[in-house]
């Protein structure tokens, strides 16, 4: 059987992609090891150990066979290096398909490299739209969708988006770039949240490490360029964070990517930095592993984030969420009232925190599938390509 296995190259580069890829790796190992072989490529888009290597270790998935080690850089420079490196690997490996996730520079680079040499592209998290093309992520996700042969869509809204763009959402049979197949499969991150919750033997000590009590803190995360590269936005969010601690009495925990920490240092605003560093109820920590961040999400009173993944995870764990962006791809969550968009507006952030904390009737209806997206995706790769 081994020689007849479909060879799949999975390309990841950012923390969330590694976590998403673990779902497919586990599904292959558990259900499809006789039929599929996976080769993992890491572009190195997130290159610090606590931003990548730790996730491979914690999620018990295979180490990458290749690491392009592209590192940081401008969009053009980073993407160009990735396309070159990925193309060389694909020409060597000659896979049956390439799996890509989400909307990063790694995603668009893999799509260009693979589709240009005739390798079918599989896009997981297809169909998502913010309808803001000023966001690099929007360009990446749209372009990748239109180069893909198999599109796996987490929500019904994503299916509608693709239909509006001219995709035949009823297409079946053998999939190709000219005749792609589209599936509403649910969200693989929901699969992952269930996996982590079902493995209590992997314990996190993060709450004890910072003397946090369940329901006694707000989890803040900030990393998007629109919030970190614009000093006004970053200051507004940090100011809201400080004021939220004083107004609510809840502790704050803020895990920071290395890049975001540097941006805060560049502000040279001693007042806001002192208000954060000198407040014993505000904990600024380094970026952490998947089990620690999941534990923080599960036990928080409320979450404020500009991360697409964390706003979903907040919903999975039935936590009210402030989204520090002007738009979100996950519009179904907004419709439930459990998630509120605020952008980097300090007053809106504070008002929304108060609103969510004092709403006892929030609901979290099931909108992200049944937790079996990974198995479904692998079965369709085998049947459709």
Q: Which residues are catalytic, by number?
A: 223
Phi, psi of 100 (to 5 degrees): -130, 155
DSSP 150: E
Question: For residue 324, what are its two tokens?
Answer: 């520090």
Beta strands 36-42 and 181-184, pairing class: unpaired
Is the distance from CB of 373 to CB of 190 less than 8 angstroms? Answer: yes
As a whole number of angstroms, the distance between CA 317 and CA 194 comes to 10
Work out the number of other CB atoms within 10 angstroms of the CB of residue 161: 22
Nearest partner of 244 among 353, 380, 139, 155, judged by Cα: 353
As a whole number of angstroms, the distance between CA 21 and CA 18 comes to 5
Cα within 13 Å of Cα(83), Cβ side:
15
Tell me how many helices (H) and strands (E) the chain has. Answer: 17, 13
Is the distance from CB of 218 to CB of 353 less than 8 angstroms? Answer: yes
Question: Which strands sit side by side in the sheet containing 217-221, from one edge to the other?
Answer: 282-286, 251-256, 217-221, 302-305, 321-323, 339-341
Phi, psi of 57 (to 5 degrees): -70, -50
Work out the number of other CB atoms within 10 angstroms of the CB of residue 203: 9
Beta strands 66-67 and 97-101, pairing class: unpaired
As a whole number of angstroms, the distance between CA 32 and CA 43 comes to 26
């Amino acid at each position: 059987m081994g020689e007849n296995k479909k060879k799949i190259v999975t390309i990841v580069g950012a923390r969330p992609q590694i976590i998403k890829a673990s779902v497919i790796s586990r599904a292959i190992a558990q259900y499809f090891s006789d039929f599929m072989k996976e080769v993992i490529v890491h572009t190195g888009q997130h290159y610090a150990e606590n931003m990548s290597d730790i996730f491979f270790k914690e999620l018990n998935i295979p180490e990458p066979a290749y690491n392009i080690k592209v590192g940081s850089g401008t969009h053009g420079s980073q993407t160009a290096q990735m396309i070159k490196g990925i193309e060389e690997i694909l020409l060597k490996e000659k896979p049956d398909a390439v799996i890509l996730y989400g909307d990063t520079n790694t995603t668009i680079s893999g799509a260009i490299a693979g589709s240009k040499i005739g390798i079918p592209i599989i896009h997981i998290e297809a169909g998502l739209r913010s309808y803001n093309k000023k966001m690099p992520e929007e360009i990446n996700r749209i372009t990748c969708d239109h180069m893909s042969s198999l599109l796996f869509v987490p929500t019904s809204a994503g299916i509608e988006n693709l239909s509006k763009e001219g995709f035949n959402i009823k297409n079946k049979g053998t999939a190709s770039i000219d005749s792609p197949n589209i599936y509403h499969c649910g969200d693989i991150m929901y699969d992952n949240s269930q996996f982590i919750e079902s493995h209590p033997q992997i314990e996190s000590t993060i709450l004890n490490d910072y003397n946090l009590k369940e329901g006694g803190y707000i989890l803040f995360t900030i990393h998007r360029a629109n919030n970190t590269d614009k000093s006004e936005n970053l200051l507004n969010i940090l100011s809201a964070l400080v004021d939220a601690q004083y107004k609510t009495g809840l502790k704050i925990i803020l895990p920071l990517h290395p890049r975001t920490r540097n941006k805060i240092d560049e502000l040279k605003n001693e007042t806001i930095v002192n208000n954060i560093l000198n407040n014993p109820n505000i904990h600024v920590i380094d970026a952490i592993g998947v089990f620690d961040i999941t534990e923080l999400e599960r036990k928080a009173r409320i979450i404020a984030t500009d991360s697409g993944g964390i706003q979903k995870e907040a919903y999975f764990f039935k936590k009210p969420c402030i989204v520090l962006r002007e738009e979100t791809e996950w519009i179904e969550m907004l419709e439930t009232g459990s998630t509120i968009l605020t952008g980097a507006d300090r007053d809106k952030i504070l008002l929304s925190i108060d609103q969510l904390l004092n709403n006892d009737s929030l609901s979290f209806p099931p909108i992200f599938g049944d937790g079996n997206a990974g198995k479904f995706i692998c079965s369709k790769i085998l049947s459709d390509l």
